[in-house]
């Protein structure tokens, strides 16, 4: 398979088209959580430089200074850096990898998450078959799809269902399968089989870590299998 590989044991899958910190997006199917990657890039840049200015980061990543400041505020909450006047300073964290998680234990910036969801929804076209992975940020995308009457939405997160019923006019498909240990996620061979039947044209996923070589990691192996297959189908 060109571009996408998956490690069953580690619960990881790898998109080999990932090629460096200055890319604006890491595509899985047609879409990507570019905010996650940009924040990972910023954390790594600050770590390597020790200290850097907002203007320099904005130029390197081709985004506005306002965007960089929002990212730095978030990363400071996570403990990856400290804000300084006009920039950021690296905070050493012995034994802690540079990674962003989709469910942060601290207070999240809900306005920022909502804006991110709006921008993600703007990339989607009506009449698509969309796989929407699990997680609270991706759940916020659903209300922004209200006008997509021809959209077919594939879900494996039970918490997505009430919002889909409330806002969407198109077809909503909850993939069959086994409930995961949380009791909220559908996974396993039946879910994989259902995914193959519908063949998504686009996949939106959230991951727990992006390594420098492009390996995408999630906590649960069963979830990794389904997300990997969703990306593979969308790429095909």
Q: What are phi and psi of 165, to 5 degrees?
A: -65, -35
Tally: H helices and E strands in the chain: 8, 13
Q: Within a 13 Å sphere around the CA of 143, how many CA atoms are in the beta-carbon half?
A: 8
C-alpha span between 198 and 226 (Å, rounded)? 13
Supply the pTM of this predicted model.
Answer: 0.57
- The domains located in the chain, with CATH, are 31-89 (1.10.10.10), 110-235 (3.40.50.1360)
Task: Check if the beta carbon of residue 43 is closer than 8 Å to that of residue 81.
Answer: yes
**pLDDT at 83 > cutoff 80:** yes
pLDDT of residue 130: 94
Secondary structure class of 10 (helix, strand, coil): coil
Which tens digits make up the pLDDT trace of 85-126?
A: 888 888 765 344 444 444 444 445 677 888 888 888 888 999
C-alpha span between 200 and 131 (Å, rounded)? 6
pLDDT of residue 236: 65
**pLDDT at 206 > cutoff 80:** yes
Contacts of residue 105, defined as CB under 8 A and 6 or more positions apart, other chains included, come to none
Residues comprising the chain, all counted: 236
């Amino acid at each position: 398979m060109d571009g996408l590989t998956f490690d069953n044991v580690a619960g990881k899958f790898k998109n080999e088209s990932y090629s460096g910190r200055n890319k604006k997006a890491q595509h899985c199917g047609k879409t990507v959580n570019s905010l996650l990657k940009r924040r990972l890039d910023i954390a790594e840049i600050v770590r390597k430089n020790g200290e850097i200015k907002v203007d320099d980061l904005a130029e390197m990543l081709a985004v506005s200074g306002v965007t960089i400041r929002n990212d730095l505020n978030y990363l400071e909450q996570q403990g990856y850096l400290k804000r300084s006047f006009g920039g950021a300073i690296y905070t050493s964290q012995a034994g802690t990898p540079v990674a962003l998680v989709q469910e942060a234990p601290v207070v999240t910036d809900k306005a920022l998450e909502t804006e991110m969801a709006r921008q993600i929804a703007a990339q989607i076209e009506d009449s698509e078959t969309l796989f929407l992975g699990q997680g609270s940020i991706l759940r916020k995308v659903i209300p922004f799809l209200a006008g997509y009457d021809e959209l077919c939405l594939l879900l494996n997160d039970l918490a997505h269902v009430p919002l889909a019923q409330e806002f969407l006019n198109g077809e909503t498909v909850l993939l069959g399968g086994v409930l995961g240990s949380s009791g909220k996620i559908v996974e396993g061979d039946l879910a994989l089989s259902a995914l193959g039947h519908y063949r998504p044209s686009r996949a939106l996923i959230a991951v727990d870590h992006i390594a420098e070589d492009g390996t995408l990691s999630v906590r649960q192996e069963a979830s990794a299998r389904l997300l990997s297959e969703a990306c593979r189908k969308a790429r095909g």
